[in-house]
Amino acid sequence: MSKIALITGAAKGIGFETARQLAQAGVHVIVAARSQDKADAAAAALQAEGLAVEALALEVTDAVSIAAAAATVTAKHGVLDILINNAGVMHDVPGKPVSAQSLDVWRSTFDTNVFGVIAVTQAFLPLLHKSAAGRIVNLSSILGSITLHATPGSPIYDYKVPAYNVSKTALNGWTVQLAYELRDTAVKVNAAHPGHVQTDMGGPSAPMAIVDGAKTSVQLALLPADGPNGGYFHLGETLPW
C-alpha cells in the first residue's frame, strides 16, 4: 500500500515540486492549496504526468478549513504517513528596519508561518500516529538560524527580513518541542532549509532550481526508522540553530 502524504501550499513552487518528487517515488500525494481551484489545477498538472495525486482545499490560517480538510482525509484514507508544512509567506516591507516593520506584518507572518503550522499539525497528528512511520517536515529557512544571524561574516548576517526570519526561528523552536513529545513514537519531525530557490519568494536570480529546492523535504519525508528526529537540515547537512 502506498504511503499517503499531505503538502500544504502545494499549488506552485517548492510545494508543487515536492509533490511531484514524492509521487514519482511511489507516494500518494494530497496536494493542498488555499482554494479548491488552485488545488485542482495543481493536481491535474501532476496527474497529466501519470502521478497519483489528489486535490484538497486547505487554508492554514482558517480553523474551519483545517478541520474540514482533516475530516476529508480521515474519511478517505484513515491514516497519514507524511505531513509537509510547506505553506509560508514573507510580508516584510523591503528596506524597513526591524523596529519599523508594522505589527500587522508580524502578525500576518506568524499567522501562516507559525500558528498555521501548529494548527495543521495538531489537526493531522492523530492520523500520523496511525502510521507505522509518520513523518512531519516543517519548511524552515537558514534565515531562522539565530547562530548565523549573530555571527559577523556568516552568509546571512546582513540579510535581515525580520518578521520572516523570526517566524522561522519560532518554527524551529516548535519543531524541537514537538520532536521531544514524539521521541518515543514512530513519528519523526524535522525542519528543512530548502535553499535559496528560484520561486516567487526567492526570486529569479536565486542560485538553486526548484527541482533541487524540493530535495531536502523529500529526504526528510522518506526518512528510515533510524533517521533523525528534531533536527534542522539542508541536503543532509545539519544546520546551526
> H or E stretch including 132?
none
Q: How many residues does the chain have?
A: 241
**65: its cell numbers:** 478549513
| Residue of 168, 188, 215, 232 marked active site | 168
Q: What is the DSSP letter of 31?
A: E
Contact 129, 187 (CB under 8 A): yes
Residue reference for cell 522561522: 168
168 is catalytic: yes
Residues in contact with 95: Cβ distance below 8 Å, sequence separation at least 6, in sequence order: none
Contact 54, 23 (CB under 8 A): no
3 is catalytic: no
Strands 232-234 and 237-238: antiparallel
| Residue of 164, 188, 215, 232 marked active site | 164
Encoded amino acid at 36, one letter: Q
Nearest CA to 36 out of 52, 59, 64, 67 is that of 59
- Return the ∠ at Cα 57 (arms to 51 and 62), rounded to 5°: 145
Reading phi first (left if > 0) and then psi (alpha if -120 to 50, else beta), residue 159 is in: beta
Indicate which residues carry an active-site annotation: 164, 168
